[in-house]
Amino acid sequence: MMVGVTNLTKTYGDTIALDGVTVEWGSGLHCIAGPNGSGKTTLMRVLAGLTRPDAGTIDSPDSLGYAFQEPNIYPDLTVSENLDVFQSLTGGRTAWRETLVERLRLGPERDRKATNLSGGFKKKLDLALALLKEPDALILDEPLADLDPATRRRLVAVATTYAEDNCVLACTHNLGAFRDEYATLTVVVDAAIHRRQTRSELESGPGAAYEDVLDDAGPQRGNGF
Protein backbone atom coordinates (compact mmCIF):
# COMPACT_ATOMS: atom_id res chain seq x y z
CA MET A 1 0.00 0.00 0.00
CA MET A 2 1.57 3.27 -1.15
CA VAL A 3 0.24 6.74 -0.44
CA GLY A 4 1.80 9.79 -2.05
CA VAL A 5 1.71 12.85 -4.24
CA THR A 6 3.78 14.04 -7.19
CA ASN A 7 4.52 17.68 -8.04
CA LEU A 8 1.60 18.81 -5.91
CA THR A 9 0.81 22.52 -5.88
CA LYS A 10 -1.97 24.29 -4.01
CA THR A 11 -2.49 28.01 -3.58
CA TYR A 12 -5.07 30.05 -1.70
CA GLY A 13 -5.13 33.43 -3.38
CA ASP A 14 -1.58 34.75 -3.15
CA THR A 15 -0.57 32.21 -0.49
CA ILE A 16 1.29 29.13 -1.65
CA ALA A 17 0.21 26.24 0.60
CA LEU A 18 2.07 23.48 -1.27
CA ASP A 19 4.78 24.12 -3.81
CA GLY A 20 5.54 21.19 -6.12
CA VAL A 21 5.57 18.59 -3.33
CA THR A 22 6.55 15.01 -4.15
CA VAL A 23 6.47 12.43 -1.38
CA GLU A 24 5.44 8.81 -0.87
CA TRP A 25 4.77 6.55 2.11
CA GLY A 26 4.25 2.79 2.40
CA SER A 27 2.85 0.64 5.19
CA GLY A 28 3.75 1.61 8.73
CA LEU A 29 3.48 4.66 10.94
CA HIS A 30 4.87 7.85 9.44
CA CYS A 31 5.18 11.10 11.31
CA ILE A 32 4.77 14.42 9.51
CA ALA A 33 5.91 17.51 11.33
CA GLY A 34 6.42 21.16 10.58
CA PRO A 35 5.67 24.61 11.96
CA ASN A 36 2.17 26.02 11.96
CA GLY A 37 1.11 27.08 8.48
CA SER A 38 3.84 25.06 6.76
CA GLY A 39 1.33 23.11 4.62
CA LYS A 40 1.12 19.72 6.33
CA THR A 41 -2.63 19.83 6.99
CA THR A 42 -3.24 20.98 3.41
CA LEU A 43 -1.16 18.00 2.23
CA MET A 44 -3.27 15.62 4.33
CA ARG A 45 -6.53 17.20 3.13
CA VAL A 46 -5.43 16.87 -0.48
CA LEU A 47 -4.60 13.19 0.11
CA ALA A 48 -8.09 12.68 1.57
CA GLY A 49 -9.79 14.48 -1.33
CA LEU A 50 -11.03 17.27 0.93
CA THR A 51 -9.02 19.93 -0.89
CA ARG A 52 -8.50 20.12 -4.64
CA PRO A 53 -4.93 20.79 -5.73
CA ASP A 54 -4.06 23.25 -8.49
CA ALA A 55 -1.62 20.79 -10.05
CA GLY A 56 0.00 17.44 -9.42
CA THR A 57 -1.09 13.84 -9.05
CA ILE A 58 -2.34 12.01 -5.98
CA ASP A 59 -1.90 8.35 -5.21
CA SER A 60 -4.15 7.38 -2.33
CA PRO A 61 -6.35 4.34 -1.69
CA ASP A 62 -10.11 4.46 -2.17
CA SER A 63 -10.51 3.46 1.45
CA LEU A 64 -8.94 6.21 3.52
CA GLY A 65 -9.78 7.21 7.09
CA TYR A 66 -9.26 10.67 8.56
CA ALA A 67 -9.07 11.57 12.25
CA PHE A 68 -9.42 15.34 12.42
CA GLN A 69 -7.69 17.88 14.61
CA GLU A 70 -11.15 19.16 15.58
CA PRO A 71 -13.24 16.01 16.02
CA ASN A 72 -15.73 15.60 13.17
CA ILE A 73 -18.66 14.01 14.94
CA TYR A 74 -22.40 14.61 15.07
CA PRO A 75 -22.69 16.69 18.27
CA ASP A 76 -26.40 15.98 18.79
CA LEU A 77 -26.08 12.21 18.43
CA THR A 78 -24.87 9.79 21.08
CA VAL A 79 -21.63 7.85 20.72
CA SER A 80 -23.57 4.77 19.60
CA GLU A 81 -25.64 6.77 17.12
CA ASN A 82 -22.50 8.33 15.64
CA LEU A 83 -21.04 4.86 15.22
CA ASP A 84 -24.34 3.60 13.74
CA VAL A 85 -24.42 6.38 11.13
CA PHE A 86 -20.87 5.87 9.91
CA GLN A 87 -21.00 2.08 10.14
CA SER A 88 -24.06 2.17 7.90
CA LEU A 89 -22.37 4.67 5.57
CA THR A 90 -19.08 2.83 5.25
CA GLY A 91 -20.20 -0.78 5.72
CA GLY A 92 -17.98 -1.40 8.73
CA ARG A 93 -18.04 -4.82 10.45
CA THR A 94 -19.86 -4.99 13.79
CA ALA A 95 -17.14 -7.15 15.35
CA TRP A 96 -14.50 -4.57 14.37
CA ARG A 97 -16.69 -1.77 15.72
CA GLU A 98 -16.89 -3.55 19.07
CA THR A 99 -13.12 -4.03 19.04
CA LEU A 100 -12.65 -0.29 18.52
CA VAL A 101 -15.13 0.56 21.27
CA GLU A 102 -13.28 -1.76 23.62
CA ARG A 103 -9.74 -0.61 22.66
CA LEU A 104 -10.67 3.05 22.90
CA ARG A 105 -12.70 2.49 26.08
CA LEU A 106 -15.76 4.14 24.61
CA GLY A 107 -18.18 1.61 26.12
CA PRO A 108 -19.20 3.58 29.23
CA GLU A 109 -19.96 6.63 27.08
CA ARG A 110 -22.09 4.81 24.49
CA ASP A 111 -25.33 6.59 25.38
CA ARG A 112 -23.88 10.02 25.99
CA LYS A 113 -24.42 12.78 23.43
CA ALA A 114 -21.16 13.60 21.63
CA THR A 115 -21.47 17.27 22.54
CA ASN A 116 -21.32 16.32 26.23
CA LEU A 117 -18.15 14.21 25.91
CA SER A 118 -14.81 15.41 27.24
CA GLY A 119 -12.20 16.51 24.70
CA GLY A 120 -10.36 13.18 25.02
CA PHE A 121 -13.46 11.10 24.38
CA LYS A 122 -14.39 13.27 21.40
CA LYS A 123 -10.92 12.52 19.96
CA LYS A 124 -11.37 8.82 20.64
CA LEU A 125 -14.80 8.78 19.00
CA ASP A 126 -13.37 10.65 16.02
CA LEU A 127 -10.60 8.05 15.70
CA ALA A 128 -13.13 5.22 16.01
CA LEU A 129 -15.19 6.76 13.19
CA ALA A 130 -12.07 7.10 11.03
CA LEU A 131 -11.14 3.44 11.61
CA LEU A 132 -14.66 2.01 11.37
CA LYS A 133 -14.36 0.95 7.73
CA GLU A 134 -10.86 -0.55 8.28
CA PRO A 135 -9.27 1.84 5.76
CA ASP A 136 -6.09 1.00 3.87
CA ALA A 137 -4.63 4.32 4.94
CA LEU A 138 -5.31 6.41 8.03
CA ILE A 139 -4.54 10.10 8.45
CA LEU A 140 -4.22 11.48 11.98
CA ASP A 141 -4.20 15.27 12.08
CA GLU A 142 -2.76 16.40 15.43
CA PRO A 143 -4.16 13.30 17.11
CA LEU A 144 -2.61 13.98 20.50
CA ALA A 145 -3.31 17.69 20.95
CA ASP A 146 -4.87 18.57 24.33
CA LEU A 147 -5.01 14.97 25.53
CA ASP A 148 -4.01 13.66 28.94
CA PRO A 149 -1.04 11.23 28.97
CA ALA A 150 -3.19 8.10 29.44
CA THR A 151 -5.47 8.95 26.51
CA ARG A 152 -2.43 9.87 24.46
CA ARG A 153 -0.82 6.47 25.10
CA ARG A 154 -4.05 4.68 24.21
CA LEU A 155 -4.42 6.53 20.91
CA VAL A 156 -0.77 5.91 20.01
CA ALA A 157 -1.23 2.22 20.83
CA VAL A 158 -4.29 1.95 18.60
CA ALA A 159 -2.55 3.81 15.76
CA THR A 160 0.59 1.71 16.11
CA THR A 161 -1.30 -1.56 16.01
CA TYR A 162 -3.23 -0.42 12.97
CA ALA A 163 -0.01 0.62 11.21
CA GLU A 164 1.28 -2.97 11.29
CA ASP A 165 -0.75 -3.77 8.16
CA ASN A 166 -1.67 -0.33 6.87
CA CYS A 167 -0.29 3.10 6.14
CA VAL A 168 -0.80 5.57 9.01
CA LEU A 169 0.22 9.20 8.58
CA ALA A 170 0.39 11.13 11.83
CA CYS A 171 0.60 14.88 11.43
CA THR A 172 1.89 16.05 14.82
CA HIS A 173 4.17 18.30 16.84
CA ASN A 174 4.24 15.72 19.62
CA LEU A 175 6.87 13.41 18.13
CA GLY A 176 8.09 12.15 21.46
CA ALA A 177 4.89 10.16 21.89
CA PHE A 178 5.73 8.17 18.75
CA ARG A 179 9.41 7.72 19.70
CA ASP A 180 9.48 3.92 19.47
CA GLU A 181 6.83 3.45 16.84
CA TYR A 182 7.45 5.57 13.75
CA ALA A 183 8.94 4.37 10.44
CA THR A 184 9.81 7.73 8.89
CA LEU A 185 9.73 11.40 9.77
CA THR A 186 8.82 13.95 7.11
CA VAL A 187 9.29 17.63 7.92
CA VAL A 188 7.29 20.17 5.93
CA VAL A 189 8.58 23.73 5.93
CA ASP A 190 7.32 26.61 3.85
CA ALA A 191 5.03 24.56 1.57
CA ALA A 192 7.75 22.05 0.67
CA ILE A 193 9.31 18.84 2.00
CA HIS A 194 12.25 20.06 4.03
CA ARG A 195 13.61 16.71 5.17
CA ARG A 196 12.56 13.06 5.10
CA GLN A 197 14.38 10.45 7.20
CA THR A 198 13.86 6.89 8.29
CA ARG A 199 13.98 5.79 11.90
CA SER A 200 17.45 4.33 11.49
CA GLU A 201 18.69 7.69 10.27
CA LEU A 202 17.29 9.40 13.35
CA GLU A 203 19.13 7.65 16.14
CA SER A 204 18.18 10.13 18.82
CA GLY A 205 14.47 9.83 18.10
CA PRO A 206 12.09 11.96 16.07
CA GLY A 207 11.45 14.55 18.76
CA ALA A 208 15.12 15.52 18.99
CA ALA A 209 15.49 15.35 15.21
CA TYR A 210 12.52 17.67 14.79
CA GLU A 211 14.17 20.17 17.14
CA ASP A 212 17.32 19.96 15.00
CA VAL A 213 15.30 20.59 11.89
CA LEU A 214 13.65 23.61 13.46
CA ASP A 215 17.05 24.95 14.45
CA ASP A 216 18.46 24.32 10.95
CA ALA A 217 15.56 25.89 9.15
CA GLY A 218 15.77 29.25 10.89
CA PRO A 219 12.97 31.86 10.94
CA GLN A 220 10.25 31.13 8.39
CA ARG A 221 7.41 33.26 7.09
CA GLY A 222 7.16 35.31 10.24
CA ASN A 223 5.41 32.60 12.24
CA GLY A 224 7.96 32.77 15.04
CA PHE A 225 9.54 29.49 14.11
Partner 1 sequence: MDVTSLLGKELTWGRHKFVALLVILVVLPAIFAYSTFAFQHVLPTDAPVGVAPQEASVTEDDLNIATAALTFFSDPQTYDSEDAAMRALSRERVYAVISVPPDLTDESLGTAHFDVYVSGSIVPYQQPAQALTSIVSYTLDDQLPREVTASRTVVGTDYNLSEYMIPMFLLALVSLVALVYLPYTFDQEAAVIDRLRVETSLYAVVASKLAFFAALLVVPLAVFDVTSAFAGTDLHVLSLGTAIVTLLTFLLLGLVATTLMLLLGLGTWGRIANLLVMLFVLTFSGLAYPVGFFSPARRWFVRQVPTHYSAVTARGFVLRDDPIGLYSDWLLGLAACVVVAAVLFAGTVELYERRA
User: Angle formed by the axes of helices 79-90 and 119-131, to 10°?
Assistant: 20
The three-state secondary structure class of 23 is: strand
Please state the closest distance from residue 122 (CB atom) to partner 1, in A: 10
Tell which residue, 177, 203, 168, 172, has the closest CA to residue 187. Answer: 172
Please state the closest distance from residue 89 (CB atom) to partner 1, in A: 5
Environment class of 73 (CB within 10 Å of its CB; exposed 0-12, middle 13-18, buried 19+): buried
Q: Which residues bind partner 1 (CB under 8 A)?
A: 12, 45, 48-52, 64-66, 68, 70-76, 86, 89-90, 126, 129-130, 133
**C-beta of residue 73 within 8 angstroms of C-beta of residue 114:** yes
Please state the closest distance from residue 82 (CB atom) to partner 1, in A: 9
Please state the closest distance from residue 73 (CB atom) to partner 1, in A: 6
Sheet strands side by side (includes 15-25): 15-25, 3-12, 55-59
Q: Which is nearer to partner 1, 68 or 121 (CB)?
A: 68
Tell which residue, 89, 87, 21, has the closest CA to residue 54. Answer: 21
Please state the closest distance from residue 145 (CB atom) to partner 1, in A: 17
Please state the closest distance from residue 45 (CB atom) to partner 1, in A: 7
Q: Which is nearer to partner 1, 162 or 182 (CB)?
A: 162
CA 27 to chain CA centroid, Å, is 14
Q: Which is nearer to partner 1, 31 or 48 (CB)?
A: 48
Neighbours of 91 (CB within 10 A): 10
Q: Which is nearer to partner 1, 49 or 119 (CB)?
A: 49
Q: Which is nearer to partner 1, 121 or 182 (CB)?
A: 121
Q: Which is nearer to partner 1, 71 or 207 (CB)?
A: 71
**C-beta of residue 75 within 8 angstroms of C-beta of residue 124:** no
